[in-house]
Amino acid sequence: MGGGEGEGGMWSFQMKILKYQLIIALLLLSCSAPMHQTIDTVHAPSPHPSPLRGEGDLTKVDKKLFAAQVLLFKSATYEELKEEMAEMKRSGVNVVIVRVFQNKGDRIHLFAKNGVSNKQQTGVYFKSSIAPVVDDVLTKIIEIGHSQGIQVYAWMTTRKMDWKWSDTPKWRDSAYDLKAKTFTHSSGLDLFNQEVQDYIIALYMEIAASGADGILIQDDLVYRHIEGFGEAARRSYYNTFGFALRPENLYQGIYEGKGKYYVKNYTPLFWKWAEWKNQNITLFLDNLVREIKKIAPQMKIAVNLYYETIINHKNGIAWFAQDLTSLKDINIDYYAVMAYHRQIMKEKNLSLDAAFEMISDITRKGLAAIGKGDKLLMKVQTIDWDTREAVPADELIKVFEAIKRGGDVSLAYVQNGNSAPKIFLDKM
């Protein structure tokens, strides 16, 4: 096609107008194209975008979290949920972490279909082809959350899945009964069974495809000191070490105290076994995170940690087979420490002030170990687990202040049918 800036007349004038129109159109397209990115990193678009992401993308947040972890919403309808999440937003929340699994004993989400009548149902709260679906509430919560400018993380179980116990009993782990000195079923699945690992990963892939912004991995991705005697675990132990796994070679000085049974000492072989269980958890978690981020690169992964794991390495390994150092090489975005002050008071027989000081110590040690404050997510209880009564505001203020003394970190409060604490925004 002829014509150029050197030619005169009407033809040249029309060509100039056409050129300017093309330039303006290209500029408008470049400005309006959506950019799926966090504050400091640009990623490939998710293959399963949220239904409300687009113009403006209200759900972008800084790396630092101010989260509400919800055991149970107080809302009975989705209309009520909209206002409840708006209340959370006003309190300073930028992420809501919602329970998407239902085990026996868990209170069902009230806005789920047949929520009140299906108290015995177990399963999941997202679209799944391999687990019983109580109701797909996750899709609706994501939609409501994003409309409020709140990201939504799915809080999901790993080893404890009641719905798998009946149809696949061979997947269940075994525990050692210190009183009866015999084996019994543990509350978790046998993570040494490859079929179990494959099933858990497949379930998490379905969450990754849901449009959720992140996943919080439940605190059951651990092996307690009497767990890990499942059929696959014993077989793997024998293949690794060349001799059978026997409880009498692990525990010394079993005794009773207030109706419970304890162990005075652990043998050298116990510590070797506990480290071995931790290695299996670590390898599985690394593979799980890699698989999630293959299909959802932007998805954030948070892992629940017990406070003992932070302040006492030996207790973390012995009681939970959990070790912070082994997790640091995994692509985890947030280390979620369950720093529940009233629970700590009860377990450690501490005064309230002593529990506050321990919270500060946990924060300091967590920061020293992790190195980045935004990656340390300190979780605070806003209700008493035993009475279900709300923790008074002045007590919560002291908890937040204790965390601040330990360092500048991400924060979360845990609620169970109660309202968002009004003072949360002030304590950031």
- Domain containing 175 — which CATH number? 3.20.20.80
Domain that holds residue 3: 1-33
The per-residue pLDDT of the chain, averaged, comes to: 85
Q: Is 428 within the bounds of a domain? A: no
**pLDDT (0 to 100) of residue 62:** 56
Instruction: Please give, one letter per residue, the 3-state secondary structure of 315-358.
Output: HHHHHHCCCHHHHCCCCCCEEEEECCHHHHHHHHCCCHHHHHHH
Closest Cα partner for 215 from 269, 156, 267?
156
How far apart are the C-alpha atoms of 199 and 130, rounded to whole Å? 8
How far apart are the C-alpha atoms of 51 and 150, rounded to whole Å? 13
Mean pLDDT of 410-419: 86
The percentage of the chain sitting over the pLDDT mark of 70, rounded to a whole number, equals 82
Name 115's bridge partners.
Answer: none
Query: 25 with 55, same domain?
Result: no
Closest Cα partner for 214 from 115, 142, 163?
142
**Mind listing the pLDDT tens digit for each residue in 20-29?**
343 333 333 3
Q: Is 363 within the bounds of a domain? A: no
Q: Are 419 and 373 in contact (CB under 8 A)?
A: no
**Mind listing the pLDDT tens digit for each residue in 278-318?**
999 999 999 999 999 999 999 999 999 999 999 999 999 99
Tokens encoding 18: 């056409």
**pLDDT (0 to 100) of residue 273:** 98
How far apart are the C-alpha atoms of 400 and 378, rounded to whole Å? 10
Q: Is 271 within the bounds of a domain? A: yes
Q: Is 421 within the bounds of a domain? A: no
Element (H, E) at 173: strand 172-177
Out of 338, 372, 387, a domain closes at 338
Mean pLDDT of 343-348: 96
Q: Are 160 and 186 in contact (CB under 8 A)?
A: no
Q: Is 251 within the bounds of a domain? A: yes
- CB-hemisphere CA count at 13 Å for 70? 28
Other C-beta atoms lying within 10 Å of the C-beta of residue 227: 22
- In this model, does residue 6 exceed pLDDT 70? no
Query: 83 with 21, same domain?
Result: no
Long-range contacts of 138-142 (CB under 8 A, 24+ apart): 138/98, 138/100, 138/207, 138/210, 138/212, 139/51, 139/210, 139/211, 140/78, 140/81, 141/81, 141/96, 141/98, 142/50, 142/51, 142/52, 142/210, 142/211, 142/212
Q: Which residue has the higher pLDDT, 71 or 59?
A: 71
**pLDDT (0 to 100) of residue 20:** 37
**Mind listing the pLDDT tens digit for each residue in 85-117?**
999 998 889 999 999 999 998 989 999 986 555
- CB-hemisphere CA count at 13 Å for 384? 11
pTM: 0.84
| Cβ contacts of 147 within 8 Å, gap of 6 or more | 52, 58, 82
| Cβ contacts of 294 within 8 Å, gap of 6 or more | none
**Mind listing the pLDDT tens digit for each residue in 29-70?**
333 333 332 222 223 233 333 333 333 344 455 578 999 999
**pLDDT (0 to 100) of residue 39:** 26
Tokens encoding 161: 């899945």
**pLDDT (0 to 100) of residue 113:** 83
The percentage of the chain sitting over the pLDDT mark of 90, rounded to a whole number, equals 73
Query: 172 with 192, same domain?
Result: yes
The count of domains in the chain is 2
Query: 10 with 51, same domain?
Result: no
Q: Is 257 within the bounds of a domain? A: yes
- In this model, does residue 425 exceed pLDDT 60? no
**pLDDT (0 to 100) of residue 116:** 52
Nearest 5 degrees, angle CA 347-CA 351-CA 354? Answer: 95
